[in-house]
């Protein structure tokens, strides 16, 4: 059935901190100030480094950046009006136009402010203001206040990283005679590993250590009941249409992975992408990261390159073999990395076709887009207070560049596509099921599947 565009009256309001006691309210009141405080502490802890590297200029820049972030924290905590950006970066106009758009929507003519506006906008705006605080104070401008947490999360997940590198190398050794059924089984396993890799997110933990300690492969069976919607077979079919499996035939499929967190989650995405190419399920994989430090642990180009370098230099056989292969994949073009500014704007994805038509048409060339994580899910569904039984297709509100799948552990109170009473039953058992990170979805939508 054609997903009819949901007329305005049926699109519910955005999640917002204006609903006291809501998860949005608690995030803005408690978690975001904590994240800002940790960012200030990180800059303060590095003051000697700035002095050694840049002398007095470094010290001045460090002090200025800290005062910018302290002012930002005060604006947030006292619900001040949102300010236009003024740092001259490429996305400034898009951000300031968005502020005007939000202001025009305010029927009460009240200024757009932290506790009265859309949660999605305010949370994205905070990370963009952190970037402004650094960018306006060179030589701090390319300092990543979250880098330490991201690299630590990688080092704390070594055992799990060794396990998945070992696994993918073993699987790759036995690919050739593999039947379609076995290939699909391996694909589904690595799709779930990538799904659960999303638990390792430093935003929900407000920067607290949140790495993967054990091999996720050992717990896939035990985790299955926590997958609330599992469209994995449809994801497989978007790569291997029914009865068209031919182990010899070269595929022309392109897969795009909209990345989320660095550290262990990125490793699970790289392992999945390695398998897709090696098993002949995809000819090319396009990775999409963030153009600035984002939501504490999201992947930037520096994190992506650092991770590949770490693998290549690892003194573990299978890790370094993965690193060497992945470097070759990037060099030879089977893999490519992109970071369009749209991914670090506050826009809901139904705005992409109009606000970033170049990105939208890039994604239209994909055969399968994997959206990793919770923030992507919030943007896919416009971070609205939908009824849980609203169809995923409808919540996308016309965003359909290509067959797409969300691989998300639930960390925000928006969830669609559930069966009647499924949400109510979960709420009765575990009131925090939407925000604990314990549950997940593999949710698929395709322009062709109607």
Ligand X SMILES: O=P(O)(O)OC[C@@]1(O)O[C@H](CO)[C@@H](O)[C@@H]1O
The residue ranges that bind Mn ion (CB under 5 A) are 201, 260-261, 295, 298
DSSP secondary structure of 222-264: HHGGGEEEE-HHHHHHHHS-TT---TTSPP--EEEEE--BSTH
Binding ligand X by CB under 6 A: which of 38, 73, 128, 378? Answer: 378
Q: Minimum distance from CB of 117 to ligand X (Å)?
A: 15
Query: x/- site string to ligand X, residues 397 to 436, per CB under 6 A?
Result: --------------xx------------------------
**Distance of alpha carbon 438 from the chain centroid:** 17
Q: How many helices (H) and strands (E) does the chain have?
A: 18, 7
Residues that bind ligand X (rule: CB under 6 A) add up to a total of 16
Closest distance to ligand X from the beta carbon of 204 (Å): 4
Quick check: 159 and 213 in contact, CB under 8 A?
A: yes
Please give the helix or strand (H or E) that residue 287 lies within, else none.
Answer: strand 284-288
Rounded CA separation 156/159 (Å)? 8
Closest to ligand X by CB, 229 or 282 = 229
Determine which residue in the list 6, 14, 16, 27 makes contact with ligand X, applying CB under 6 A. Answer: 27
- What does 316 bind: ligand X, Mn ion, none (CB cut-off 5 to 8 Å by kind)? none
The smaller minimum CB distance to ligand X, of residues 117 and 198, is found at: 198
In terms of Cβ atoms closer than 10 Å to its own Cβ (0-12, 13-18, 19+), residue 176 is exposed
Which of residues 199 and 397 has its CB atom nearest to Mn ion in the complex?
Answer: 199
Cis peptide before 139 (omega within 30 of 0): yes
Among 76, 82, 85, 204, binds ligand X (CB under 6 A): 204
Give the HSE-up count for residue 302: Cα atoms under 13 Å, Cβ half-sphere: 14
Tell whether residue 130 is a contact of ligand X (CB under 6 A): no
What residue 411 binds from ligand X, Mn ion, none (CB within 5 to 8 A, per partner kind)? ligand X
203 phi and psi angles, rounded to 5 deg: -80, -45
Containing 193, the helix (H) or strand (E) segment is: helix 180-197
Which residue, 239 or 407, is less far from ligand X as judged by CB?
407
Q: What minimum distance in Å lies between the beta carbon of 27 and ligand X?
A: 5
Q: Which residues bind ligand X (CB under 6 A)?
A: 27, 31, 123, 198, 201, 203-204, 260-261, 295, 373-375, 378, 411-412
């Amino acid at each position: 059935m054609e997903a009819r565009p949901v007329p305005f009256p049926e699109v519910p309001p955005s999640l917002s901190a204006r609903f006291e006691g809501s998860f949005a309210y608690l995030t803005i009141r408690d978690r975001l100030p904590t994240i800002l405080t940790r960012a200030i502490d990180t800059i303060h802890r590095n003051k000697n480094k700035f002095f050694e590297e840049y002398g007095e200029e470094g010290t001045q820049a460090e002090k200025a950046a800290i005062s910018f972030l302290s002012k930002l924290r005060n604006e947030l905590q006292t619900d001040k009006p949102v300010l236009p950006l003024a740092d001259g970066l490429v996305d400034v106009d898009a951000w300031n136009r968005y502020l005007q758009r939000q202001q025009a929507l305010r029927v009460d003519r009240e200024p757009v402010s932290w506790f009265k506006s859309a949660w999605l906008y305010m949370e994205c705006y905070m990370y963009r203001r952190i970037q402004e605080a650094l960018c306006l104070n060179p030589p701090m401008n390319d300092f990543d206040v979250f880098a330490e947490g991201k690299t630590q999360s990688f080092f704390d997940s070594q055992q799990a990283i060794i396990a998945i590198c070992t696994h993918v190398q073993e699987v790759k050794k036995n690919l050739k005679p593999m039947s379609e059924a076995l290939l699909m089984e391996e694909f589904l396993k690595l799709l779930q590993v990538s799904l659960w890799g999303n638990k390792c997110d430093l935003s929900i933990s407000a920067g607290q250590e949140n790495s993967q300690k054990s091999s996720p492969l050992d717990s896939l069976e035990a985790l299955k009941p926590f997958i609330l919607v599992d469209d994995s077979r449809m994801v497989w079919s978007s790569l291997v249409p029914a009865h068209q499996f031919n182990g010899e035939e070269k595929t022309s499929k392109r897969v795009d992975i909209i990345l989320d967190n660095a550290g262990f989650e990125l490793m699970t995405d790289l392992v999945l992408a390695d398998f897709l190419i090696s098993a002949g399920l995809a000819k090319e994989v396009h990775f999409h990261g963030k153009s600035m430090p984002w939501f504490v642990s999201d992947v930037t180009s520096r994190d992506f390159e650092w991770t590949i370098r770490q693998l290549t230099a690892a003194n573990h056989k299978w890790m370094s073999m993965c690193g060497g292969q992945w470097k070759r994949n990037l060099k030879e073009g089977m893999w490519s990395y992109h970071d369009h500014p749209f991914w670090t704007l506050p826009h809901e994805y139904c705005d992409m076709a109009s606000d970033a038509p170049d990105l939208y048409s890039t994604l239209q060339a994909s055969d399968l887009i994997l959206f990793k994580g919770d923030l992507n899910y919030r943007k896919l569904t416009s971070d609205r207070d939908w009824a849980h039984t609203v169809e995923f297709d409808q919540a996308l509100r016309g965003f359909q560049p290509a067959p797409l799948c969300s691989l998300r552990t639930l960390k925000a109170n928006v969830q669609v596509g559930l069966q009647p009473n499924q949400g109510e039953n979960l709420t009765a058992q575990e009131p925090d099921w939407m925000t604990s990170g314990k549950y997940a979805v593999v949710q698929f939508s395709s322009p062709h599947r109607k």
